[in-house]
Amino acid sequence: MQLSHVSTIDSLGACQGASWQKGKAYLYGDREVGMIREFQYQKDSLLYTGKEMRLTLNDTDVINHPTGLAIHGKDPVFMGNSVIVDKATNTWKAIIYCIDWDGLMKTGTLDHGNLKQVIEDDACVQGTRPEYVQYNKKWFVATADYGGRANEVRLYDPAVLQHAKHTSDKGVLYKKFSCGPWVQNLQWIPEKGWLLLIQNQIEGRKWKFTYVDLEKSLAAGKAVVVREEDGIDRGDELEGFTFLPNRTKGIAVTSSRKGNVNFIDIKW
């Protein structure tokens, strides 16, 4: 993985992630409210389409710090959030929201029934970042922790998760394995059966991409690493990454105000 070129996209707040869906890139961040913007990819650039979704309900900021967007076919759509409970002790809790993606795209907010369920991810160690993965011919919602110790990748059953109040509820958690620290986001690579852990090397700083074999990791109970990429020498906070369709290019986003959108060339 090599850095090709860097650009700055404004009006995202601190960008928290990127997702490629049906020929468009969706960048999400924590501006004055949590929000998502839609972009077209043209000539190695992202062009804003003018479509913005605000993650608000009744004008109240709901998904204020979006982390992860899990979309697959007609399966339920999930988005993560980190909510601070106590600033003095820096205590957080993780929430997963089941949302009506088509409705959100249409109306631009979580109103009109577009927020379908609020699920506390109390099975997590620290934080949540949902992403769909396939295991044993079934689709699950994978998530991971952002912390310095005891990190895990967990697989949740989406059919149960969409109706749950807590991820500790019976039948939600399917399998899990331990992994390294500071996982900001996840990216599934279906043709290889690999899960890409988008990480920081230290808390809030420096980039790291870890490719793990999902099936072997679940069997071993710990991450079975295929390859690590930490050669892109950036000191800022890598937040998210998405492959472009041919997987020879990708977009990495950071929380920086400048240079927050980074185009990556990939050789397999």
Kindly list the structural domains of the chain, giving each domain's residue range(s) and its CATH number in brackets, ordered by start.
12-243 (2.120.10)
Partnered with residue 30 across adjacent β-strands are 34
Using alpha carbons, select from 61, 131, 72 the residue that is nearest to residue 96.
131
Number of H helices, E strands in the chain: 3, 22
**Which position has the token pair 């922790």?**
145
Opening angle at CA 260, ends 258 and 265, nearest 5: 130
Query: Among 63-72, 104-113, 123-132, 189-198, which stretch is predicted with the lowest mean pLDDT?
Result: 123-132
**pLDDT tens-digit profile of 120-174?**
999 998 889 999 999 999 999 999 998 888 999 999 999 999 999 999 999 999 9
**pLDDT tens-digit profile of 28-84?**
999 999 999 999 999 899 999 999 999 999 999 999 999 999 999 999 999 999 887
**Which are the contacts of 59, defined by CB distance < 8 A and separation ≥ 6?**
none
The pair of three-digit structure tokens given for residue 243, joined into one six-digit string: 């492959």
Per-residue confidence at 7, pLDDT binned at 50, 70, 90?
very high
CA atoms of 178 and 157, how far apart (whole Å): 18
Contact at 8 Å (CB) between 177 and 188?
Answer: no
Taking all residues of the chain, what is their mean pLDDT, rounded to a whole number? 95
pTM above threshold 0.85:
yes
Using alpha carbons, select from 146, 99, 147, 144 the residue that is nearest to residue 156.
144
